[in-house]
Structure 1
Amino acid sequence: MRITRAAVVGAASLTAILLLAGCGSGGGASASFEKKVSGTLNAWAFDSADDVGKARLDYANEQLESAGAKVELDATTFDAQKFATRTASGKVPDVVQMSSQSVTTYAAQGLIMPLSKCYDLYGVDPSEYFYKQVAADVSWDDDVWGVPQFYQPPAILVDRTVADAAGVSLDDLDVSKGDDFIAAVAKLTQKQGDDPTVIGFDPQGVDKAGLWMLGFGGRLVDDDGKPALDDAKNVEAVEFLQKVYDAQGGYAKVKSLIDSFDLFGDGNQFVKHQVGAEVFDQWYVNVLSGYRDQISLAAVPFRDQQGEPFAVASGQAFVIPAKAKNPSAACKWVLDVTSAKSWDAAAAARQKTLDGKPGAINTGLFTGVKSVDEAIREKYVGQSGDEAFEQVISTYYDVAAKGRSFGSSPAGERIQSELKSAVTSALTGEKSPKQALADAQKAALSAYNRVAG
């Protein structure tokens, strides 16, 4: 039900944006950024800030205040419909945080500003500063429209206790090995009757559908940002996901057990040995580090069909609305909050938090900036003495450099919602993978044509 609701919300949000901006308006308002700042900066959607977020906010706010401006922060979660409403009223904030995959949708409608001049003012080359795949997610029409933050590379986390008992090695968990991989998944699965009691492999088939498609040589958009959901390689990826779920009892039964996992609790699936392996972004290693004495963990890279380690870009970005009243302060603030000094302050805060937790492991920060990631790793990610976790941490650092962008598109939000709906309908058996993706392509292309003109 959540997928269907997300698709409806995405469609409604896109419709609202079209009504605001007019079809095919394209291109955001150009701003004149200056280093001299004053007044108040209104920022929205930097929500749920933890020790890392608070340290970064403190640093960026101090820099802005020392330059002559102050910050007012609305920490509620970004909402596309709310953003559309605010835009229509003219009461927009100066900075908004949103998913990187949404940035181009708003750029194409002229609702946010291009930021090349902002970057130039402070001597930052986004194509060099950020991972290239991270910068690509917020680039479109020969400009950059957002300032990205975080990049969570996925890999496969393995419960060694379950794997060893099933006689499955880490080498067996190579998704490029096709039927041999499926056989390993079946060996890892435990059932009571027809119902799985231990999931052999959780591919996160709906939420990570884009990862699987790119790994199979497919694509979500073409070079111009036009939807390409019906690509033949995408169909192959979904057909493979069907085999993965079928080897464990079918999508519905697998999902039912996964939905019961105590993901963040003391009875999580690795503590209770309810899963053999699953695809997860790096952030989940932080959760599991608190249970290292109760679990036996390992990691292997997700591999493309050529057997090469593979990841995809993901994360959030800051944008400056076209009607922002204080773009100069916004420009300075977004670059300060994503600067190396800001991230170092965040890493120091995280280490201080961990110092208060005996036995805790620093798993690093994945910021979206390779040089910053490496500096934090060298300074704060020491040898914990836990070889298993050291192997897991190293795996994520290794795959981070192997990432690709999903590609940016004026219909980015709609593409994501249609993709999830299509894969869900295929995995539940409502439609064949080919038909589901063809239908998704039709809907996404219609949205693209309305936005791009």
Structure 2
Amino acid sequence: MKKRQRILLAVTAVVSVAALTACGSGSGGKAGGGSNADFSAKPSGTLNAWGFENADDVGQARLDYAADQLKGVKIKIEQTAFDAQKFTAATASGQVPDVVQMSSQYVGTYAAKGLIQPLDKCLSANDVTADHWYDSVIGDVTYDNTMYAVPQFYQPPAIIVNTRLLEAAGLTNDDIDTSDHERLLSAVTKLYKESGGNPSTLGLDPQVPGTAGLWFLGNGGQIMDEDGKPTLDDAANVEALTFLKQLMDAQGGFAKVKSFIDTFDMFGAENQYVKDQVAAEINAQWYPNVLAATQANITINAVPFKDKDGNPFTVASGTAFVIPKGAKNPAAACAWALNLTSDEAWQAAGDARATTIKNDPDPNRMNTGLFTGSPSADQAIRDAFVKPTGNAGFDQVIATYYDVVGTGKSFGSSAAGQEIQTELATAVTAALNGEKTPEEALKDGQEAAQRAYDQTTGK
């Protein structure tokens, strides 16, 4: 990961409803466009794909493996991040690629308009079943009881704690407990320090607004119901956002916290754990790889995020491969996506990462595993490559992420998935800034998301 990732849920440009409606008119605006594709055909010809922006050793190993399995296919990849407007324009013109990588959270939006193809026949033609992936991951790419994308990656969040700061404050890991708001707020207040009226040490960086959905679902709320209708104003969400506002206010307020966080050398030798700028922080599974470079100067453990009942809790996230309606080579697209996410491809990726670490002159490099979206691949990689590092704190951190990965819950899938995520971030930011009360912010967000849902579904 070479660019700063402050949030777990990416929010991209919202696809205009009008454009989606126009592009979806060929299927009557219903899910299921392109369902007559012959996924059982032998892959051949040219495959055009979008994805794999800045592919690293893991990505390249998987690309090489998939290409080796499809020797009769010429694979052409536009290595780019997903662009909603570009995809919509391509769909409208009929010049779509055969396969596209996008956020799992947006799959429902395109499925609802028939702009991507259902993949049940793709899986069955290749003898792949949905239990290859975690249930929570499948939930994110399932719309109207049909799977519309091939998932990849699922890097769960956990809380990395700065043990020397906790010990100095007379606290333990048990005090960083997201299921006990009163206890957590007390600990954060005790750990917080300021200088000149500005934060100098955060008791907890909760990574909001990006992780708001984690806090909402962990508190028993939801951002959409089982039918995909937005539920941003759920009472449990209001309660969670009210607590997050208290958490920010106890640390100088959201504006000051955000400004302070923006100064962190997150990927450098003077990161926030080295400089004792955080006592605890929610981070995705990839971040311990970054911290490894400074392991001599930090003391860390990890605790799981917990739901309101005190159980370890996480939410699904990641990217997935979709096959657009109108793809000229759906059979090759299907085979390519499934090969990229097979246990064998992930094993090749694990081998590549192990080689990279072995050849790296930096003695601090360590293998924290790969979190793929597939329980069988995760376990195989852990068994083969994740060994004791010699640093007990890091070993405990790595184990914590493996402990929580199976506890994930899906946000769900919606025809207005993009809009729900956008309105969620907008509402949370407004509430934390004090522009609106949590109730007002989520009410306004709900109304905007509902309008988008109604327009998209025609209901």
Q: Same fold judged by TM-score > 0.5?
A: yes
Alignment partners' CA distance in 1, 2:198 and 2:21: 46
In the other structure, the counterpart of 2:39 is 33
Are the counterparts in 1 of residues 106 and 418 from structure 2 also a CA contact under 8 Å? yes
Q: Please report how far the alpha carbon of residue 140 of structure 1 lies from its aligned counterpart in structure 2 after TM superposition.
A: 1.1
Alignment partners' CA distance in 1, 2:177 and 2:13: 36
Q: Quick one: which of 65, 69, 74 aligns to 1:63?
A: 69
In the other structure, the counterpart of 1:270 is 273
Other structure's SS at 2:80 match: coil
Other structure's SS at 1:148 match: strand
Are positions 1:300 and 2:294 aligned together?
A: no
Q: Quick one: which of 435, 446, 459 aligns to 1:430?
A: 435
TM score, norm. by length of structure 1: 0.96
Kindly provide the CA deviation profile for residues 337-384 of structure 1, in whole angstroms up to 9, marking residues without a partner as x. Answer: 000000000000000011123242100000000111011001000111
Are the counterparts in 1 of residues 269 and 293 from structure 2 also a CA contact under 8 Å? no
Aligned-pair identity (%): 55
Are positions 1:279 and 2:282 aligned together?
A: yes
In the other structure, the counterpart of 1:47 is 53
Are the counterparts in 1 of residues 17 and 455 from structure 2 also a CA contact under 8 Å? no
Q: Please report how far the alpha carbon of residue 8 of structure 1 lies from its aligned counterpart in structure 2 after TM superposition.
A: 9.1
In the other structure, the counterpart of 1:152 is 155
Q: Please report how far the alpha carbon of residue 419 of structure 1 lies from its aligned counterpart in structure 2 after TM superposition.
A: 0.2
Alignment partners' CA distance in 2, 1:150 and 1:13: 27
Q: Which runs of 5+ in 2 are unaligned?
A: 1-5
Q: Please report how far the alpha carbon of residue 291 of structure 1 lies from its aligned counterpart in structure 2 after TM superposition.
A: 1.4
C-alpha spacing 1:263/1:308, structure 2 compared with 1 (3 Å): same
Alignment partners' CA distance in 2, 1:8 and 1:283: 21
In the other structure, the counterpart of 2:450 is 445
Are the counterparts in 2 of residues 415 and 444 from structure 1 also a CA contact under 8 Å? yes
In the other structure, the counterpart of 1:415 is 420
Q: Which runs of 5+ in 1 are unaligned?
A: none
Are positions 1:88 and 2:92 aligned together?
A: yes
Other structure's SS at 1:273 match: coil
Kindly provide the CA deviation profile for residues 248-301 of structure 1, in whole angstroms up to 9, marking residues without a partner as x. Answer: 111111111001111111211111111110111101111111211111111000
Other structure's SS at 2:447 match: helix
Kindly provide the CA deviation profile for residues 145-192 of structure 1, in whole angstroms up to 9, marking residues without a partner as x. Answer: 000000011100111122222222100000111111101001111111
Alignment partners' CA distance in 2, 1:326 and 1:138: 21
Are positions 1:21 and 2:24 aligned together?
A: yes
Higher mean C-alpha displacement, 21-30 vs 224-233: 21-30
Are positions 1:338 and 2:341 aligned together?
A: yes
Higher mean C-alpha displacement, 173-182 vs 95-104: 173-182
Q: Quick one: which of 379, 383, 387 aligns to 1:378?
A: 383
Higher mean C-alpha displacement, 22-31 vs 318-327: 22-31
Q: Please report how far the alpha carbon of residue 226 of structure 1 lies from its aligned counterpart in structure 2 after TM superposition.
A: 0.7
Q: How does 1:24-423 map to 2 (within 5 A)?
A: 24-30=29-35, 31-65=37-71, 68-126=72-130, 128-357=131-360, 358-423=363-428
Alignment partners' CA distance in 1, 2:17 and 2:317: 21
Alignment partners' CA distance in 1, 2:46 and 2:220: 47
Aligned length: 446
Are the counterparts in 1 of residues 11 and 418 from structure 2 also a CA contact under 8 Å? no
Residue 448 of structure 2 aligns to which amino acid in structure 1? Answer: A
Q: Please report how far the alpha carbon of residue 26 of structure 1 lies from its aligned counterpart in structure 2 after TM superposition.
A: 3.1
Alignment partners' CA distance in 2, 1:19 and 1:275: 48
C-alpha spacing 1:140/1:228, structure 2 compared with 1 (3 Å): same
State the 4+ residue runs in structure 1 displaced beyond 2 angstroms.
6-9, 12-16, 22-28
Alignment partners' CA distance in 1, 2:228 and 2:101: 22
Pairwise CA RMSD of aligned residues? 1.5
Residue 22 of structure 2 aligns to which amino acid in structure 1? Answer: L
Alignment partners' CA distance in 2, 1:424 and 1:32: 46
Residue 233 of structure 1 aligns to which amino acid in structure 2? Answer: A
Alignment partners' CA distance in 1, 2:104 and 2:51: 13
Other structure's SS at 1:393 match: helix
Q: Please report how far the alpha carbon of residue 7 of structure 1 lies from its aligned counterpart in structure 2 after TM superposition.
A: 7.7
Alignment partners' CA distance in 1, 2:437 and 2:46: 54
Kindly provide the CA deviation profile for residues 381-406 of structure 1, in whole angstroms up to 9, marking residues without a partner as x. Answer: 01112111000000000000111000
Kindly provide the CA deviation profile for residues 107-162 of structure 1, in whole angstroms up to 9, marking residues without a partner as x. Answer: 00110000000000111111x11000001110111210000000011100111122
Are the counterparts in 2 of residues 383 and 390 from structure 1 also a CA contact under 8 Å? yes
Alignment partners' CA distance in 1, 2:249 and 2:101: 39
Alignment partners' CA distance in 2, 1:338 and 1:206: 30
Other structure's SS at 1:290 match: helix
Other structure's SS at 2:97 match: coil
Alignment partners' CA distance in 2, 1:17 and 1:46: 25
C-alpha spacing 1:432/1:197, structure 2 compared with 1 (3 Å): same
Are the counterparts in 2 of residues 28 and 108 from structure 1 also a CA contact under 8 Å? no
Alignment partners' CA distance in 1, 2:286 and 2:419: 26
Q: Please report how far the alpha carbon of residue 35 of structure 1 lies from its aligned counterpart in structure 2 after TM superposition.
A: 4.1
Other structure's SS at 2:276 match: coil
Are the counterparts in 2 of residues 7 and 421 from structure 1 also a CA contact under 8 Å? no
TM score, norm. by length of structure 2: 0.95
Are the counterparts in 1 of residues 40 and 126 from structure 2 also a CA contact under 8 Å? no
Alignment partners' CA distance in 2, 1:232 and 1:109: 30
